[in-house]
Amino acid sequence: MPLHAISQSVDASDILFLKIQELEGELATLRSELESQAYLIEKLMDEGIEQENNNIPLEADASSEVNTFRFEGINDSQSIDEVYEEAISKLNDRNFEAAKLSFNYLVNNFDDDEKIPLSLFWLGEIALLESNLEESENFFQKLAIDFPDHWRSPLAHKKIGDILMMSGDVSGAKIKYQFVIQAFPENSASSLALQLLENME
């Protein structure tokens, strides 16, 4: 099958797959966000009591610190969720440059086991859309290596196989697709990898 035909087939199946995966991820994210919200509210209350006891206005404290953590889990300018939602909004508007800035800001300034790998994934997708294969592969590799247990990791491996195929490395793509099938047999990414292997025969 011609490469462009394979690419179109992959794009169509990937769109549906990504939507399903996004919904699954949102459920997991909502659960973790509820826990973090409760933690942050408690920290806010504790900080308010401590500031009141020390007669230090909260406003003065907030204005004196820019781009630093006032307390663990909250950034004075934007929270992790706000940065991520802004990036997703820009992505939906196809404003890829602005989306990249927000995703990169999140990756470089925060520590979050859910939003960081998701940001790396979308940075890889944007680079792929822009035909920057090397940059795209680097983002997917970082996701797969740094967050091997994240739910996006299997798809990141499969995407690396796609990039190898686009680069003309057919044997490398086959090896990567076979890895996805063997390492993640229950994941939807393995079904996509199997389909691609069958199309290559």
- Which residues are registered as beta bridge partners of 71? 74
* pLDDT at site 167: 94
Nearest Cα neighbor of 129 from 96, 105, 154 is 96
The residue type found at 91 is: L
Strand blocks (E) in the chain: 69-71, 74-75
Q: Residues near 176 by Cβ (< 8 Å), separated by ≥ 6? A: 157, 158, 160, 161, 164, 193
Nearest to 143 by CA among 129, 132, 159: 159
Contact between 102 and 91 under an 8 Å Cβ cutoff? The reply is no
pLDDT over threshold 50, residue 73? no
Going by C-beta distance under 8 Å and a sequence separation of 6 or more, which residues neighbour residue 74? Answer: 40, 43, 44
Kindly report which listed range (69-73, 133-137, 165-169) carries the lowest average pLDDT score: 69-73
Domains and CATH numbers, the chain: 3-30+76-200 (1.25.40.10)
pLDDT given at position 64: 36
Return the structure tokens found at 155.
């798809």
What is the model's pTM?
0.64
Q: What is the dihedral of CA 177, 121, 3, 179, to 10 degrees?
A: 0
**How confident is the prediction for the chain on average, in pLDDT?**
77
Q: Give the residues across from 74 on adjacent strands.
A: 71
Judged against a pLDDT cut of 60, whether residue 119 lies above it is answered with yes
The CA–CA distances, whole Å, from 38 to 21, 82, 149, 163 equal: 26, 17, 25, 41
Q: Provide the residue type at 136 as one letter.
A: S
pLDDT band with cut points at 50, 70 and 90 for residue 35: low
Per-residue DSSP letters for 116-175? HHHHHHHHHHHHHHTT-HHHHHHHHHHHHHH-TTSTTHHHHHHHHHHHHHHTT-HHHHHH
